[in-house]
A = this chain, B = another copy of it.
Amino acid sequence: MLHKPGVTESLAQNIVATRWEDIPAPVRHQAKRSFMNFFAVALAGCRTQPVEIALRSLSEFSGGKQVTLVGRSERIDALSAAFLNAAGANVYDFCDTHVRTVIHPTAPVAPALLAYAELRPVRGADLLLAFILGNEVEDRIGNAISPSHYNRGWHITSTCGVFGAAAGAGKLAALDARQMVSALGTAATQAAGLCECLGTAAKSASVGNAARNGLWSALLAEKGFDGPPEPLAGVQGFYSVLNETVDLSAVTDGWGDSWQIMATSYKPYPCGFVINPVLDCVLDWRRDHPAEVVTAVVVRGNPLLAIRTDRPDISTGRESQVSVQHAVAAALVTGKAGVEQFNDASARDPQVTALRGKVEVLRDESFSTIAAAVDITTADGKVHKLSQTAARGSDVNPFADSDLEAKLRTAAAGWDSSHDITPLIEAIWALDQSADVSKLASLAVLR
């Protein structure tokens, strides 16, 4: 009888077989863009409270100073670094988004690979290849269960990200297909994360774990730690246990014909992805109008906008990142939507708080997640009708390379305006030429 490989085995074989030569130039370039965005958001989040607390706690248990923490002078063991860099990169909801799944693909994968690259020598091309494959795996695993998985309340960046980190780290470790299945199995049994935790420090636990546990799954598999033959599609596997509606063909069909990373969007604003088109509208309008005249705002968008971000009453910066009411109010009051519009002070600003109460959210199935319409009513009774069909930075209205460089420069300057971040930018664009990427993250260390 011929052996018919299962879904997980087919996926593993694809990961193992794909070479740098198989990756088209635009895909390679997109991977560099994702690293540029990663360092921007990781710098923005590297000193936030969840990272500070987790670092203080992990330091009590960690050995060695193996790996760089983005933006910080401390170093820590590789597993803890993967956790902390992932948590920091995602804490502001400022990271990249795979539109179809709403996965933030880079936060769980890049930190796992950068940690690995400080343990053992890794060439730039190998880092990019592993990163592209990690993206591919987490996004494809997510495609098979979207939108039902995220809508149910699973924090899909965490639950699928652990597979991406395992696949990418497993690629760097040159696992064979059997070991790769084991790595994906150990990742599957660690898949966790609840959207209930959005807006709190606990969100960072599942995102950090996705990177840490994915990396660890690959390292364990390398040492012979085995798992079941079909962790994804088995009767009691990931898809059956965590999901209702599954399209298994999405996992491997058409592998290599196109690459999921090309569907990545990068955010201009540090808040929930679905809020971005709303802010495009509000900031455009605000350029020519004062906030004082606003009497009511009605936001219309994809149901996910209301499901995830209809939060009129919030009190912390982290909550503010997943409140469309706050985002609209803060953008109207200040005319901006940067990190300062989503901190504790902004969340408690009396002017912003008052305006939040005037924002209503409506669900409309006809909108995609990158589109929104905003009606602003002013004191003169006039209704200003605004709309955005494709949010800035989304895959169909993409950031220029210079926009991404600017995002990184802004994030670095936010901590230390004297730090020259140009060497990091140049190193990212030259990643495919690098013989050893172990010093890459150290260029993002601000003193």
Task: Specify how many copies of this chain sit in the oligomer.
Answer: 2
**Residue contact B196 to A228, C-beta cutoff 8 Å:** yes
**In contact, B63 and A197 (Cβ under 8 angstroms):** no
**Complex interface bits, A220-247 against B, C-beta within 8 A gives 1, otherwise 0:** 1001111110110011111011100000
- Does B189 contact A197, Cβ atoms closer than 8 Å? yes
Given A57-B216, A64-B63, is A206 in contact with B223 using a C-beta cutoff of 8 Å? Answer: no
B residues in contact with A242, CB < 8 Å = 242
Q: Check A291 for interface membership: any CB of B closer than 8 A.
A: no
Contacting residues, chain B, for A213 (C-beta < 8 A):
209
A153 in contact (CB, < 8 A)? yes
In Å, the complex CA distance between A219 and B224 comes to 32
One of A28-36, A75-83, A95-103, A263-271 at the interface? A75-83
Q: Scoring A residues 171 to 206 as 1 if CB is less than 8 Å from chain B, else 0, what string do you get?
A: 000000000001001101111111111011111011
A57 to B219, CA, bound (A): 7
Distance A202 CA – B226 CA, assembled complex (angstroms): 6
Instruction: Number of A interface residues at 8 Å Cβ cutoff, please give it.
Output: 63
Residues of B within 8 A of A206 (CB): 189-190
Binds B, one of A46-54, A104-112, A416-424, A430-438: A46-54
CB of A295 within 8 Å of the partner chain: no
Most buried by B among A62, A228, A234: A228
A220: chain B residues at CB < 8 Å are 53-54, 57, 201, 205
A61, A223, A225, A240 pick with most chain B CB within 10 angstroms:
A61
Is B196 a contact of A237 with CB atoms below 8 Å?
Answer: yes
Q: In the assembled complex, which residues on chain B have CB atoms less than 8 Å from the CB atom of A154?
A: 241
Given contact pairs A190-B192, A227-B200, A79 touches B61 in the complex (Cβ within 8 A): yes
Q: How would residues 42 to 71 of chain A score, 1 for a CB under 8 Å from any chain B CB and 0 otherwise?
A: 000000011001101100111110100000
Is A385 in the interface zone, CB < 8 Å from B?
no
Given contacts A190-B206, A227-B200, A231-B202, contact A236 B61 (CB under 8 A): no
A155 at the interface (CB under 8 A from B): yes
Per-residue 0/1 for A148-183: is the Cβ within 8 Å of any B Cβ (1 yes, 0 no)?
A: 000011110010000000000000000000000010
Asked if B227 and A201 sit within 8 Å, CB to CB, the answer is yes
Identify A192's interface contact among B192, B202, B227, CB under 8 A.
B192
Q: Once the chains are docked, how many angstroms separate the CA of A242 from the CA of B196?
A: 12
A226 contacts B200, C-beta separation under 8 Å: yes
The one of B61, B199, B219, B226 that contacts A78, using a Cβ cutoff of 8 Å: B61
A153-B240, A194-B236 are contacts. A202–B186 as well, Cβ < 8 Å? yes
A228 cross-chain contacts in B, Cβ below 8 A: 196-197, 199-200, 202
The docked-state distance in angstroms from the alpha carbon of A179 to that of B193 is 20
State the Cβ distance, A218 to closest chain B Cβ, in Å: 10
Partner of A194, one of B64, B153, B202, B237: B237
With contact pairs A50-B225, A61-B78, A197-B228 given, residues A202 and B216 touching in the complex (Cβ less than 8 Å): no
B53 near A225 with CB under 8 A, answer: yes
Q: Do B216 and A189 have beta carbons less than 8 Å apart?
A: no
List, in ascending order, chain B residues with CB within 8 A of A57's CB: 216, 219-220, 223, 225
B153 touches A241 (CB 8 A): yes
A77–B63 CB distance below 8 A:
yes
> A64: which B residues are within 8 A, CB to CB?
61, 63
CB distance from A108 to the nearest CB of B (A): 14
Contact call A189/B193, Cβ cutoff below 8 A: yes
Contacts A63-B61, A153-B236, A237-B153; A205 near B190 (Cβ below 8 A):
yes
Give 25 A-B contacts (CB < 8 Å), ordered by A residue: A53-B225, A61-B66, A61-B77, A62-B77, A63-B63, A63-B77, A152-B240, A152-B241, A153-B237, A153-B240, A153-B241, A185-B196, A186-B197, A188-B196, A189-B197, A189-B206, A195-B236, A196-B234, A196-B237, A197-B228, A201-B226, A202-B225, A202-B226, A202-B227, A209-B213
